[in-house]
């Protein structure tokens, strides 16, 4: 990895594992790293001069990959349903209730999360109560913003998202639907 005075290499010790990346990689997004590297914020360094971060290095690999590429790979943490027959097999064996997000994928292969919807926080909160899946579908469109749909399943019953008040954010509508569904 080449560096210069304008874009130096930054060495990080994350949970005992050393990572090297360019300063510009760490500072291109508004984040703790930007504050850490562009202000006088005190940082802890290890004996070799690396900035020490007390976090899981395996998870940090994903953070660093996002900072480098702007993409997040959910394949390990989120179950993906590839087709309708796979969906039918899953709902045939329902134990814990299931939430399936029907996610539009543009003809460029990208998805866009609903405005104001923090998927990782949502998943962390609801995963103990629901099995959560993504089921991508092709929109044959280059339009980036299309509303996600969802279906909730439990033994002998399913429910999709209905119409929502346009003033209500996606996440609030979803949470209200889930809470009502789980109470029934």
pLDDT over threshold 80, residue 166? no
Q: Residue 132: its pLDDT value, please?
A: 92
Residue 51 confidence class, pLDDT cut points 50, 70, 90 = very high
Predicted TM-score (pTM) of this structure? 0.57
CB 174 within 8 A of CB 161: yes
Confidence band for 30, pLDDT divided at 50, 70 and 90: confident
pLDDT of residue 47: 95
State residue 11's pLDDT score: 96
Neighbours of 14 (CB within 10 A): 21
**pLDDT at residue 4 in the model:** 65
d(CA 171, CA 12): 35
Contact present, 108 and 76 (Cβ < 8 Å): no
**Angle between the N-to-C axes of helices 119-126 and 170-183, in degrees from 0 to 180, rounded to the nearest 10:** 10
pLDDT score at 35: 87
Please, what sign has the CA dihedral across residues 31, 36, 41, 44?
positive
- pLDDT at residue 52, as a whole number: 95
Question: Contact at 8 Å (CB) between 63 and 19?
Answer: no
């Amino acid at each position: 990895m080449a560096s210069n005075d304008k874009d130096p290499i930054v060495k990080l010790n994350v949970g005992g594992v050393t990572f090297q990346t360019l300063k510009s990689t760490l500072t291109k997004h508004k984040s703790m790293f930007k504050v850490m590297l562009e202000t006088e914020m005190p940082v802890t360094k290890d004996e070799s001069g690396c900035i020490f971060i007390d976090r899981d290095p395996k998870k940090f690999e994903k953070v660093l990959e996002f900072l480098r590429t702007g993409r997040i790979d959910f394949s390990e943490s989120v179950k993906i349903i590839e087709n309708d027959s796979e969906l039918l097999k899953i709902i045939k064996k329902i134990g814990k209730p299931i939430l399936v997000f029907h996610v539009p994928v543009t003809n460029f292969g990208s998805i866009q999360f609903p405005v104001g919807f923090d998927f990782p926080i949502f998943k962390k909160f609801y995963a103990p109560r629901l099995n959560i899946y993504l089921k991508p579908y092709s929109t044959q469109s280059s339009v980036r913003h299309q509303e996600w749909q969802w279906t909730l399943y439990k033994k002998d019953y399913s429910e999709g998202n209905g119409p929502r008040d346009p003033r209500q954010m996606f996440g609030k509508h979803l949470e209200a639907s889930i809470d009502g569904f789980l109470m029934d």
